[in-house]
Structures are given as C-alpha cells and as structure tokens.
Amino acid sequence: MTRILLTTLMMLTGSLSLFAQEMNTDISDETEEVHTVGKGSLQLEGAMLHNNYSGHRHTYIAEGLLRYGLTKRLEVRVMAEQGEHKEHFIDETTQSMYAMAAGFKLNILEESKGLLPAATLVTYLQVPVTYSSAVTAYWSPSILLTFQNELAEHWKLDYHGGIQQEAFSHEWNVPVSASLHYEASEKVDLFGEYYAQFKPGDNPFHNAGAGVAWQAVPRRLQLFFSGGSSIHHHPENYFLKLGAGWKIL
C-alpha cells in the first residue's frame, strides 16, 4: 500500500512539474523564441504598437499571432498586422513582418548543451488577401534560424538571423536580433534587446529596446510591455508595445 501511494505521488509530482513550465510568447519582444507551444496546444498572442517618427508622424498597429502545436516540436502559425498608416509602419521600421502571413516553427535542437544552443527554424509566407488593388501581390517568404543559450541561473540569450523578402517589393533584407533575459522571479522576466535590418544598397537599420513580461496566470496568461528606439537613423522611430499571450488549450 505504501509503495502504491509513493508511486502515485511521484507520478503526480512529475505531472505538476511538467505543467509548471512557464508560458513563452513570441511577440513580446522582437526576437523569436526557440520554444514551440507543444502538441495540441493553441495559443493566441496580441499587441498594440504606437510608433512615433520624426516630423510628428504616428502609427497605431495591432499585431496578432495564432499558434497551434501539431507535434511536440512542430507548430503552425498565422500572424497579422493591421492599423493606421500600415504602409508607413512597414516601410520605416524593422518591426513589421507582413499584413498577413502563415508559416511553421520547427524545433531542431530542444535544449542548449554547453556551448551548443537550442535551435529552431521559423518560416513565413505572406498571404496576399489584404492588399489594395494598387499594391502588387508578393508571397514574400521569410526564413529565420533562432537560437537560445542558457548563460547562468536566471539568465538566457535569444538570437536569430535569416532572410526575408519585403512585403510590398521584390527586394530582400537580412533581419537579425538578440535579446538578453533575466528571470527576476517565477512570474517576471526582464529583457533588453538589439535588432537590425541589413539590405544591399541601404544603410543598416539599428534599434534597441527593453521590456518586461509578467506571468499573470501561470502557464495560461502572460502580459508584456516594451519600448525602444532606432539608433542613429533617419527618420527616427520610437515605439511602445503593450500586449498579452493566452494559452487557450
């Protein structure tokens, strides 16, 4: 009887430990996470961005990302960005991806081991259903490799790089990003980041930002806030982002 009770307790403890894994969101910062949502999980992420450019110009953009886990390591996703002066947001920031796109995320290496990082492949293909008749339709593929290193207790480094065709042109660019995270507590994650875009014939577009993510309901609801600025770039761009991630299933 004692053995049965101990076995049951161990099984429950293991289940609770698995369930206690923290929730991860991709749009809380500009760097893609290596983690997928898990088989059968459905996660919705959304954010509002306010961008202020030189010349007193503003954009207000709503971002959404829906993620579903097909397997433990593979998820499919649909993302959308819509709002006031959307074309201006796409042209003059490195934050924008596409008006609407679909893709997948495949975990290649689950855990970092020593100097070897965890690694994930992220792809998008633009869905040309939100175009006006005056805009040429492009499928605009994006391919990113994203990595994560556990630096020390409570510290991790996320970074990614890849290639992306611009949303409304045939031109290609190279987006790169890196974010340093500090787990201040079981519920609070602080981060600082650098992200940039390189395109042949143009000056690089460098940016820096910082933010905080809070597990409002552990494993189910995360709230986040961030802000940042372009670095030595014209037109200057300052932004604020407020959003949430909700694990539906």
Q: 52-84: per-residue pLDDT in tens?
A: 877 667 889 999 999 999 999 999 999 998 887
Q: Higher confidence at residue 57 or residue 247?
A: 247
Lowest mean pLDDT among 10-14, 101-105, 242-246: 10-14
CB of 50 closer than 8 Å to CB of 237? no
Candidate from 13-22, 94-103, 115-124, 160-169 with smallest mean pLDDT: 13-22
Q: Is the per-residue pLDDT at 88 higher than 90?
A: no
pLDDT tens digits, 132-170: 555 677 889 999 999 999 998 899 999 999 999 988 788
- CATH for 26-247 (2.40.160.40, 3.40.50.300, 3.40.1400.10, 3.30.2310.20): 2.40.160.40
Question: Between these two residues, 148 and 2, which has the higher pLDDT value?
Answer: 148
pLDDT at residue 98, rounded to an integer: 83
pLDDT at 38: 94
Query: pLDDT tens digits, residue range 194-240?
Result: 999 998 888 889 999 999 999 999 999 999 999 999 997 776 889 99
Can you give the residue ranges of every domain in the chain?
Answer: 26-247
